[in-house]
Chains A and B, each alone.
Chain A
């Protein structure tokens, strides 16, 4: 069964460093998303991406964040200068259409020291 994959599963970085989180969405899906979940809290929407551009972004998704689909399979989230409060689990999701169910990847746990 097709699934969303994410790498790495855990990333530890120093405050101020850049990180890139990678996702491979389900192959025939067209809509891609990033969410984050701070430990013990709810899941929060960050950004949606369609047709090589951002469709919607939240207040959390400030200038430190960017997304890219560098090739036909990967979808990346970059944080330019990490802060302690960026520590969270980051989930990638994809859907076939804009109204279909979203399928979530296993997540990347980001720890900023």
Chain B
């Protein structure tokens, strides 16, 4: 059974600082997604990583994928309050053509002024 583990689960940081969220998974997959969720809201797609070594950047967020290490990272640069949210990674587990996303537990990020 595929396990997806994020750490840390809770992160409180100051504005202007840098930090990294880690997503480890237990079985082979070369597709990984990062989502953002604000309280009571749906999942907003941030990044789609489709191959080993993929790196994507959008504003202060950068995501990377190392399929050999079964590790993805979400790096936050010079954090601002608006980035406070819960961040989920999700690994695509394809079974006989049917796609199934297995989510990590989520990282609740709080950025303090």
Q: Which A residues form the contact surface with B (CB < 8 A)?
A: 31, 33, 35, 41-45, 48, 50, 55-56, 58, 91, 95, 98-99, 101-107
Q: B97 contacts A98, CB within 8 Å?
A: yes
Interface bits B38-64 vs A (CB < 8 Å: 1, else 0):
000111010010000000000000000
Nearest to A3 among chain B residues (CB) is B42
The answer for the CA separation of A31 and B102 in the assembled complex, in Å, is 16
Q: B95 contacts A56, CB within 8 Å?
A: yes
Within 8 A of A (CB), among B73-91: 88, 90
Q: How large is the interface on B (under 10, 10 to 19, 20 to 34, 35 or more residues)?
A: 20 to 34
Q: B43 contacts A50, CB within 8 Å?
A: no
Q: B45 contacts A103, CB within 8 Å?
A: yes
Report A45 CB to chain B, min CB distance, Å: 5
Contact A48 B43, CB 8 Å, known A42-B105, A42-B106, A43-B88: no
Partner of B103, one of A43, A48, A95, A106: A43
The answer for the CA separation of A10 and B48 in the assembled complex, in Å, is 30
The answer for the CA separation of A107 and B101 in the assembled complex, in Å, is 17
Listed residue (A35, A42, A106) with the most chain B CB atoms within 10 angstroms of its CB? A42
Q: B43 contacts A91, CB within 8 Å?
A: yes
Q: Which residues of chain A come closer than 8 Å to B100, judged between CB atoms? A: 45, 48, 56, 58
Q: Which residues of chain B come closer than 8 Å to A35, judged between CB atoms? A: 101
Report A103 CB to chain B, min CB distance, Å: 7
Q: Which residues of chain B come closer than 8 Å to A33, judged between CB atoms? A: 99, 101
Q: A104 contacts B94, CB within 8 Å?
A: no
Q: Which residues of chain B come closer than 8 Å to A104, judged between CB atoms? A: 35, 42-43, 45
Partner of A106, one of B42, B48, B95, B102: B42
Nearest to B47 among chain A residues (CB) is A101
- Lowest 3 CB-CB distances: which A-B pairs, in order? A55-B98, A56-B98, A43-B103
Q: Which residues of chain A come closer than 8 Å to B94, judged between CB atoms? A: 98-99
